[in-house]
Structure 1
Amino acid sequence: MTKYIKVAQPSISKEAAGELESLQLHYSEKSEILKAAHEGKVGALKRLAEEDPDTLMSAIVNGFTVKKTPHEEIADYYFEAQKNMSIIGEDYEGTVNYQYELGKTEAVEFVLKELGLQVLGVNLDIVE
C-alpha cells in the first residue's frame, strides 16, 4: 500500500504567484526557475527570493496558494456575515445571532467609511 504525505503549500502574494507562473512557462527545471527568480529584476518574486528563500523553494517544488489581499479578506468577512444573516432570516431579526452578524456588517461599513477606504462589493459598487 502506497502512503502519500500531504505537503503544505506556502501562501504567496498575487504578484509573486503571477511572476512564478510566468517563469514556470519558460523553464522546465526547478533549478532554472529558482535561478531566474534570484536573478530577476525588482519584483515580488525577487523580494521573496531574497527575504524568504525557503518559501520560494517550497512554492516551486510543492506548488502554492495565493494570499488574499486585505481588501479581499474584508470583503469575505463582510459577505460571510451577510450570508449568515440571510440564513437566519428576517423573521429572526431580534435574535442574538442575527444581531451579531448585523453588527459585523455595520462595523465593516463604519470602519471603511471612517478610514476613507473602498472595498469592491462592500462600499464600492460593482460596475458591469
Structure 2
Amino acid sequence: MSEKVALPKEVAEVIEHLRSLPYYSDDKILEVTVDPADEWVGAKTDALNGVDTMTLASALVNGYTVEQTPHEKLRNYYEANDWLQDSEEMSSTERQRSLGCRQGVRKTLHILGIIVEGINDTTDAK
C-alpha cells in the first residue's frame, strides 16, 4: 500500500464535506476539481485549486493525514516545554530551559504581533 499524503487542513475539510454528500464519490471529487462546471461546487472547492491532481488522487485512494498549521506546530512546541506540569521531576537546568523556550515563544509572538490560541490569546490562563 502506498503512503498517505499530507494535506493542508482546508483541503481535508473540503474532501470530507464533499464525501459527506450522497452523490460525491472520489472520482466525482476529482472531476469537479478539474472542471468545476457547477459554480456553487466550484466556490466550495476553492481550497482544492492549488492541489496537484495526482496528489489529490493519491490522497483519495491511499488516504491522507492533515498537516498541522504553523500555529498548531508552535502550540505543540510550546506545550511540550510546559515546565509547570512536572516541575518536581525536572532538574533546575531542565526547568530553566523549558521556561526560556516558553518565554521566547511568547516574546517572539508579541514582537511579531501574532496571536496563537493557547499561547498568548486572552483565554490563555498560563
TM more than 0.5: yes
Q: Is the 8 A contact 2:34 2:53 kept in 1?
A: no
Count of aligned pairs between the two proteins: 116
Question: Once the 2 structures are TM-superposed, how far is the Cα of residue 56 of structure 1 from its aligned partner?
Answer: 0.7
Which amino acid in the other structure matches residue 110 of structure 2? K
Answer whether contact 1:23 1:36 (CA < 8 A) is retained. no
Cα distance between partner residues in 1 of 2:90 and 2:74: 25
Residues of 1 paired with 2:30 and 2:119: CA distance? 39
Quote the residue 1:73 is aligned against: 73
The answer to whether the aligner puts 1:114 opposite 2:117 as a matched pair is no
Deviating beyond 3 angstroms after TM superposition, the runs of 4 or more aligned structure 1 residues are 26-29, 90-93
- Residue 53 (structure 1) shift: 2.2
Aligned mates of 1:73, 1:123 — CA distance in 2: 15
Give yes or no for contact 1:85–1:101 (8 Å, CA) kept in 2: no
| Amino acid aligned to 1:65 | T
Matching of residues 77-116 of structure 1 within 5 Å = 77-82=77-82, 85-87=84-86, 89-90=87-88, 95-116=92-113
Greater relative contact order, per chain length (Cα 8 Å cut-off, separation 6+): 2
| Structure 2 spans left out of the alignment, 5+ residues | 37-41
Which has a greater percent of helix?
Answer: 1
Gaps of 5+ in 1: none
Partner of 1:71: helix, strand, or coil?
Answer: helix
Quick one: distance in 2 between partners of 1:23 and 1:75?
Answer: 30
C-alpha contact 2:109 2:115 (8 A) present in aligned 1: yes
User: Aligned partners of 2:97 and 2:74: how far apart in 1?
Assistant: 17
Q: Percent identity?
A: 32
3-state DSSP class of the match of 1:47? coil
User: CA-to-partner distance for each residue in 1:58-117, whole Å, 9 max, x for gaps?
Assistant: 1110121111111111111111111x5522x15756x22221111110110110010011
TM-score (norm 1): 0.77
Work out the CA distance in 2 between the residues paired with 1:90 and 1:101.
Answer: 13
1-side partners of 2:24 and 2:108: how far apart? 47
> Which residue in the other structure is 1:30 paired with?
26
Report the Cα offset of residue 57 of structure 1: 1.1
In structure 1, the residue matched to 2:9 is 14
